[in-house]
Amino acid sequence: MNEKSTLDRLFRPDSVAIVGASPQRGSPRNAIVRVLLKHGFAGRVYPVSPSHAEVEGLKAYKSVGELPEVPDVALVITPAQTVPGIIAECGVKGIRNAVVFSAGFEETEAGKDHAVRLAEAARKYGVNVMGPNCQGAWSVKHRAMLTYSPAAQNLETIQHAPIAVVSQSGALAGAIGNSLQRAGMGCSYLISVGNETVFDALDALEWVVEQEDVRVVALYIEGLNCAERMLAIAEKARKRGVQIVVLKAGRSEVGQQATASHTGKIASSHAVYTDVLEQAGVISVNSLVEVLSAVEVLAFLANPRISGDPKGGISVLSSSGGAGALLADHSSENGIPMSEFSPATADRLEKLLPEFARKANPIDLTGQINTVANLFRDTCNTIAEDPRTEAIVVQYASSGRKYLQEDGELFKSLGRELPVIVSFVGETMEPEVRRAFREAGVLLAADPSITMQALSLIYRRRRYQSLPPLPERPPLPERPAPRDWEETMKFCEDGGVTPAKWLVLGPEDRARNACAGLKYPLVVKVLPSDSEHKTELGLVKLRVQTPEAVDALAAEFRAKMGKPGAGILVQEMVGDGVEVVLSALRKTDFGPVISIGTGGVAIELYRDVTHLALPVTREQVLAALRKLKLWTLLQGFRGKPAADIDALADAAVRFGDQFLAASDVQEFEINPVIVGAKGEGLRAVDALVIV
């Protein structure tokens, strides 16, 4: 239903019907008509109203069936109970797109039946429905403002820019659009998807990333349906040079409750969203302010120049030693490399700059820029020509406005070659000034920290654009869920994690005979099927030295559980290594995911875990591990040998593939996996399977 040509007609229509249009000024039913006309829509507009002959000077029609042509889109704003029937009328007429503004559907108990009937009508008659309970869409270049949004009503003019906005909140969509317009940036598309009864945020995102007038998309979400689609959409965006930026609500427990009550869905784990979005090359931000900053940077600044030199990075010129030091601090915090000037550049700077100036990066130009003609210009050109310079930052401490007027054309000329950020302290520039520089590839930043945050965005984008394509390999044959400890350990072994040597001690068994093949000391504990929280309940004992102690502990554990016939697990102690958790979970918004991180009893304390959507590649696992504190331990810490990282990465890939093949398994956790020294492989100590 959502084929490209249909969506082109939705967002770039030549004709629009407004079902429920009203001549009553101040009402949303009237505002939809007025907004469309106010901003210069050049197509045909057909109000549909059974009780009015004319709306805003336009002839009104009593029903959809009476329209003189088949419009590209119907805008529907009538009571909820009437909407399913109107969608059916649209389908019979041949209208393939509808935007439903009306509320009173999934967000209310009484409206859920209306939502079901709306979806049925859309499917039956082949109508693509955006909404209900939405604020519509802005298509700026086409002047199709399909909305009653107060933001669109209050704007006198609209500006076009390669920035798209897709939002599950209509009010926030309007606020972002208003901010972009009033800041002099503009936007290309703004889409409020509402309840997503038929057409959802990812349907909108998939369309906008393919548009020629989009370089960055801001996506506000509370939760996604079939979120695994995001990975393929993000890959498509990367191929086209489009960057997706996501602001997700529901990070806190209170936030999740608020999200659930507002949208009728429970937001899934914020940590999973953050990690999987990074896996997909999507930038996550935490506030609306960060959204607005990010889209400005990503829409207008080029990627850092590729130096191909380990000593390459950003080059900084400052009129203040203190401000330069702050920039260096912020570059370290944001992981931005500072360039080391090449010998040739260092020689030129030695001749150019006064003796008391700092000539290394960051350069302190001192007050001589006020008295020595062309000192600033010559220094800028010198570092721009250095092959190690990937981006340039010019930092002013005071009188920045004066210097900007004098050197603005220099910055704009440099901006055609590489990213340039002019950073101020406490000074702000008018929107029209910012716009002129922005369009020349020069960002005006109000503070050194903002400067480095902007640079971190374009470095991340450059890194994400080099991500490999999604893995394509045939799935493993379907395998049944493990039914007992033996099958669970076989699953681990097939996944590249060798189980510690073990046996299950029955109530009639005696350790002296049963454990004769095991090497002491031993671990004695109850099976995971009998208790998921063995440690907290005192049902685990380490370093057991004698058969008599094994028998005594087995009897004690059976008594504590009240299960006299329970089998008791006895394992050999595993030697030194790094404790890691390796687990897979099926029911997330992104489908099956694998989690890997610091394991053992402290997993919930440290929460040093990362998540990846399955299937994964070895490279993705290694990249995810490098983000964790665990990585320091794996590398070898305080004299410890480096761990077998290669074996861990390979096992994560195999374990994930096996989990995908075992469709009856909802969760499979191996905790801890003991990662031995390089070449020694992995050992599984404990595992929990939920079917």
pLDDT at 594 over 90: yes
Q: Burial of 426 by CB count in 10 Å (0-12 exposed, 13-18 middle, 19+ buried)?
A: exposed
**pLDDT value of residue 362:** 87
Q: What does the pLDDT average to over 209-234?
A: 95
pLDDT at 180 over 50: yes
Q: Assign 228 a pLDDT band (cuts: 50, 70, 90).
A: very high
Q: At a CB cut-off of 8 Å and minimum separation 6, what does 496 contact? A: 647, 650, 651, 654, 655, 681, 682
**pLDDT value of residue 270:** 82
**pLDDT value of residue 251:** 67
Cα dihedral angle (95, 97, 100, 101), rounded to 10 degrees? -110
Look over the chain and give the mean of its residue pLDDT values, rounded to a whole number: 90
**pLDDT value of residue 120:** 97
E strand or H helix that includes residue 408:
helix 400-415
**Residues in the chain, overall count:** 691
**pLDDT value of residue 158:** 95
**pLDDT value of residue 263:** 20
* CATH assignment, 4-299: 3.40.50.261
Q: What does the pLDDT average to over 24-37?
A: 95
**pLDDT value of residue 271:** 85
pLDDT at 264 over 50: no
As a whole number of Å, the end-to-end CA separation of the chain is 36
Confirm if 56 and 33 have CB atoms less than 8 A apart.
yes
Cα dihedral angle (661, 664, 667, 673), rounded to 10 degrees? -50
Closest CA to 610 of 624, 630, 592, 593: 624
d(C-alpha 671, C-alpha 69), whole Å: 65
**pLDDT value of residue 671:** 86
Predicted TM-score (pTM) of this structure: 0.90
Confirm if 337 and 315 have CB atoms less than 8 A apart.
no
Question: Does this chain's domain 4-299 share its CATH topology with 301-465?
Answer: yes
Pairing verdict, β 578-585 and 593-598: antiparallel
pLDDT at 254 over 50: no
Q: What does the pLDDT average to over 465-478?
A: 90
**pLDDT value of residue 370:** 59
Q: At a CB cut-off of 8 Å and minimum separation 6, what does 329 contact? A: none
**pLDDT value of residue 121:** 97
pLDDT at 365 over 80: no
Closest CA to 476 of 465, 491, 460, 488: 491
H helices of 187-313, in order, are 201-208, 229-239, 253-263, 270-279, 288-300
pLDDT at 35 over 80: yes
Provide the token pair at 586: 């099926």
Q: At a CB cut-off of 8 Å and minimum separation 6, what does 593 contact? A: 272, 276, 584, 585, 611, 612, 613, 614
Domain boundaries, the chain: 4-299, 301-465, 501-572, 578-690
pLDDT at 343 over 70: yes
Q: What does the pLDDT average to over 138-165?
A: 96
**pLDDT value of residue 538:** 84
Q: What confidence tens digit (pLDDT) does each residue in 412-451 have?
A: 999 999 999 998 887 788 888 999 999 999 999 988 889 9
Q: What does the pLDDT average to over 176-193?
A: 95
Q: Assign 69 a pLDDT band (cuts: 50, 70, 90).
A: very high
Query: Looking at 17-21, 39-43, 574-578, 647-651, which range is the least confident one?
Result: 574-578
Confirm if 518 and 572 have CB atoms less than 8 A apart.
yes
- For 501-572, which CATH superfamily applies? ATP-grasp fold, A domain (3.30.1490.20)
CA gyration radius, the chain: 31
**pLDDT value of residue 535:** 72
In SS3 terms, 15-83 reads as: EEEEECCCCCCCCHHHHHHHHHHHCCCCCEEEEECCCCCEECCEECECCHHHCCCCCCEEEECCCHHHH
Within 10 A of 553 (CB to CB), how many other CB atoms are there? 21
The CATH T-level fold of domain 301-465 is Rossmann fold (3.40.50)
Residue 557 vs residue 602, higher pLDDT: 557
Q: At a CB cut-off of 8 Å and minimum separation 6, what does 217 contact? A: 163, 164, 165, 166, 205, 208, 209, 237, 242, 243, 244, 245
**For the domain with range 578-690, which CATH number is right: 1.10.10.10, 3.30.470.20, 3.30.465.10, 3.40.50.720?**
3.30.470.20
Question: What percentage of the chain carries pLDDT values higher than 70?
Answer: 95
600: alpha, beta or left? (left if phi > 0; alpha if psi -120 to 50): left
d(C-alpha 422, C-alpha 688), whole Å: 55
pLDDT at 520 over 60: yes
H helices of 168-245, in order, are 170-182, 201-208, 229-239
Within 10 A of 116 (CB to CB), how many other CB atoms are there? 14
Q: What is the DSSP letter of 263?
A: H
Q: Assign 603 a pLDDT band (cuts: 50, 70, 90).
A: confident
Whether cis (ω within 30° of 0) applies to the bond prior to 23 is: no
Query: How many Cα atoms within 13 Å fall on the side-chain side of residue 89?
Result: 18
Confirm if 132 and 197 have CB atoms less than 8 A apart.
yes
Q: What confidence tens digit (pLDDT) does each residue in 487-503 have?
A: 999 999 998 899 999 99
Three-state DSSP class for residue 121 = helix
| Residue for token pair 């930043």 | 445
pLDDT at 241 over 90: yes
**pLDDT value of residue 528:** 82
| Residue for token pair 């590249």 | 496
E strand or H helix that includes residue 393:
strand 389-395
Phi, psi of 366, rounded to the nearest 5 degrees: 60, -175
Query: Looking at 170-179, 251-260, 637-646, which range is the least confident one?
Result: 251-260
pLDDT at 369 over 80: no
Cross-strand pairs, 165: 190, 218
Q: What confidence tens digit (pLDDT) does each residue in 392-414 have?
A: 999 887 777 887 888 899 999 99
**pLDDT value of residue 373:** 56
**pLDDT value of residue 332:** 82
pLDDT at 72 over 50: yes
